[in-house]
Amino acid sequence: MSRRSQGSVPDLVERARAGDPRAVARLISLVEDASPLLREVMAALAPHTGHAHVIGITGSPGVGKSTCTSALVTELRREGKRVGVLAVDPSSPFSGGALLGDRVRMQDHALDRDVYIRSMASRGHLGGLAWTTPQALRVLDAAGCDVVLVETVGVGQSEVEIAGLADTTLVLMAPGMGDGIQAAKAGILEIGDLYVVNKADRDGADQVRKDLRSMLALSDLAEGSWKPPIVKTVAAKSEGIDELAAEIARHHDWLESSGELAARRTRRARDEVEAIAVTALRERWGDVHGRSELDDLAAAVAAGETDPYTAADELLDAYAD
């Protein structure tokens, strides 16, 4: 890769803010590779973040997440918005990279300079997201995206992590993908801001909607809280997508007027800081010889020589300075 394509961090940030897709790609690659420049990148991006509406799209495999995402991008572009898409794909068992299935379904937007699509490998991270997704979000936010869509892997009952990352979480369901009880088991009735019954031209769509309404009616919502709507769509035909976009906009307005938007973003930043701090601590615990104080303490706990709480206190005391 040439020196020009690499660029300094200030140069990359400036070009990304000007809409250069190569600069955006390079910055996200630095994030994914945990580059030594990552701290400098995040510091340079920080003053330019906090503007994008982050929308999480989740649901079981086969409900049409990628098709719905593509249709939603088309609708948002019709409204004149710049859109970023982070499609978290399963990792290849051979290369460890993303399988790129989602990008195959979004080729209609490949030539639009106001749409940036990036597939990210989950690399074994649970929760339907990649470990680096929050930092990649910051890149797209700073690059001027009005909306960033984050599509999760679709791994069943571990999808709930997206709720901590997004301003608005869409939960997709489809006929034949399980009843309302299964939805409750998966935890999705606790994370959705909007529910989408996709493939609504199939038999059973009305029953799915009825089941969702019944289950949501059991929720103990506080006075003035958001009541999640249920939207029927046929994403492959772009049917119902305009209504979905309108409900997303209505939710964003509610977030701002209620103060919930600031609260959610503060929680998101807290979780991100905590994750970075814990990762840094784990790195300090290891040593160049392949053994650490953590290993020694773990062996002592396993042998019954000490208890895990005492061992944890010793470990923290050792790195208090």
pTM exceeding 0.95: no
Chain CA centroid to CA 184, Å: 21
3-state secondary structure of 194: strand
List of E strands, the chain: 53-59, 83-89, 115-121, 147-151, 168-173, 194-197, 230-232
Residue keyed to tokens 């300090």:
284
Choose which CATH entry (3.40.50.300, 3.30.1280.10, 1.20.1560.10, 1.10.490.10) describes domain 50-257. Answer: 3.40.50.300
| CA–CA gap between residue 15 and residue 286 (Å, rounded) | 38
Question: What are the distances in angstroms from CA 187 to CA 180, 181, 191?
Answer: 11, 10, 7
Question: What are the distances in angstroms from CA 61 to CA 127, 156, 169, 174?
Answer: 14, 8, 17, 10
| CA–CA gap between residue 304 and residue 279 (Å, rounded) | 28
Span(s) in the chain for CATH 3.40.50.300: 50-257
* Token code pair at residue 22: 């190569």
Q: How many CB atoms are closer than 10 A to CB 75?
A: 18
Helices (H), 147-259: 180-185, 205-217, 241-258
End-to-end CA distance of the chain: 41
233 Cβ neighbours under 8 A, 6+ residues apart: 68, 71, 196, 197, 198, 200, 239, 240, 241, 243, 244
CB 195 within 8 A of CB 228: yes
Q: For the chain, 321 residues long, give each residue's pLDDT as a single digit of tens.
A: 333 345 689 999 999 999 899 999 999 999 888 889 989 999 999 999 999 999 999 888 888 998 999 999 999 999 999 999 998 865 443 344 444 444 555 667 777 889 999 887 654 444 444 567 888 999 999 999 999 999 887 655 445 677 788 999 999 989 986 555 555 555 567 788 999 999 999 999 999 899 888 888 877 777 788 999 999 999 999 999 999 999 999 999 999 999 999 999 999 889 888 888 887 777 777 654 456 778 889 999 999 999 999 999 988 887 766
